Amino acid sequence: MNKSDKELAFLRDLYVATNWGERFAELVDEHVELPKRGSMLYVASGTGGHALAMQERAGNDVTLICVDENEECLELGRAKAMAVRADPEFSRSQLESLSFDDDQFDLVVGDASLVAVERLPEMIAEMVRVAAPDGTVALTLATSSSFGEFFSVYWEALRNSGIGDHEHDVESLITELPTVSNVETMAGREGLDNVTSWTKIEEFDYESGAEFLNAPLISDFLLKSWLESLPESVDRARVSKEIARIIDAERQDMNFVLSVKATLVLGRKAK
């Protein structure tokens, strides 16, 4: 069932930001130098936990603006800010059309870990546009070779369900994930200098097929995009049931592991 923005915001705060999100946030914390003064923009900030932690480390001389497309996520972020007596601004905006003038922010951080791949070029372009000359732009995302364990199971589930004419959709899911060099090239093309990147392989363990499919990260965020290309006539419940069956048959009393190449791409806007 489709959930409301409010329900998705609470699920993201409780189950996604605290596990999935932390893996990507660690890359930012390890490699991104915070400004000592000036302004910071966090694009696709979700419910704001990582952005608020960054502002706390940066200190009072750095102002923070958080941007997300889900107003309910922003509301949760505002509540968190009040609880810790922080004073950032929370603003709703499309990722491909940020509502800021050019050359504004000393640091722009973007979390594209749950953003559709086709939106990346415009998201990166907007992040670079609003960054100040010589400002830092940092983007986190999942890159090529992520989710391979699931894609293998998904392909088999489609075949077993008699939906063989859509097996090419799985190939598209595999090939559409950008390589690290692809993202670096995008960043350089938009005007970033000294582009560098870091990647960590992160693993998410599930004790059964049912646990995998019922995990909010999977059911409410990742799986929706993975199954999106299936026509309405396809019984998604049957496909999901077959996915769970294959996972349980193949894991042999071991956990099903979903691996993700968590990547940070970092650069400075040309002066």
Check whether residue 186 and residue 69 sit in a common domain.
Answer: yes
Q: Residue 184's domain spans which residues? A: 1-143+178-204+260-271
Check whether residue 172 and residue 183 sit in a common domain.
Answer: no
Contact 261, 201 (CB under 8 A): yes
Check whether residue 19 and residue 113 sit in a common domain.
Answer: yes
Check whether residue 73 and residue 192 sit in a common domain.
Answer: yes
Res. 46: pLDDT tops 90 = yes
Check whether residue 106 and residue 168 sit in a common domain.
Answer: no
Check whether residue 25 and residue 112 sit in a common domain.
Answer: yes
Rg (CA), the chain: 19
DSSP string covering 182-218, please? Answer: HHHHHHHHTTEEEEEEEEEEEEEEESSHHHHHHSHII
Check whether residue 78 and residue 183 sit in a common domain.
Answer: yes
Check whether residue 35 and residue 138 sit in a common domain.
Answer: yes
Res. 244: pLDDT tops 70 = yes
Check whether residue 244 and residue 157 sit in a common domain.
Answer: yes
Q: Could you identify the residue written with the tokens 């973007």?
A: 110
What tens digit of pLDDT does each residue of 76-103 get?
999 999 998 988 999 999 999 999 999 9
Check whether residue 199 and residue 107 sit in a common domain.
Answer: yes
The rounded mean pLDDT for the chain is 95
* CA-closest candidate to residue 52, choices 32, 76, 36: 76
What tens digit of pLDDT does each residue of 196-205 get?
999 999 999 9
> Poorest-confidence range of 46-50, 88-92, 176-180, 233-237?
233-237
What tens digit of pLDDT does each residue of 202-226 get?
999 999 999 999 999 999 999 989 9
Question: What pLDDT is attached to residue 253?
Answer: 82
DSSP β-ladder status, 89-92 and 256-269: unpaired
Q: How does residue 175 score in pLDDT terms, banded at 50, 70 and 90?
A: very high
Check whether residue 23 and residue 138 sit in a common domain.
Answer: yes
Nearest-5° angle of CA 83, CA 216, CA 140?
70
Question: What pLDDT is attached to residue 1?
Answer: 64
Tally of domains within the chain = 2
Element counts in the chain: helices (H) and strands (E):
12, 7
Could you give the CA distance from residue 206 to residue 258 in angstroms, rounded to a whole number? 8
Q: How does residue 188 score in pLDDT terms, banded at 50, 70 and 90?
A: very high
Average pLDDT over residues 40-49: 98
Check whether residue 133 and residue 217 sit in a common domain.
Answer: no
What tens digit of pLDDT does each residue of 250-260 get?
888 899 999 99
Write the CATH number for 11. Answer: 3.40.50.150
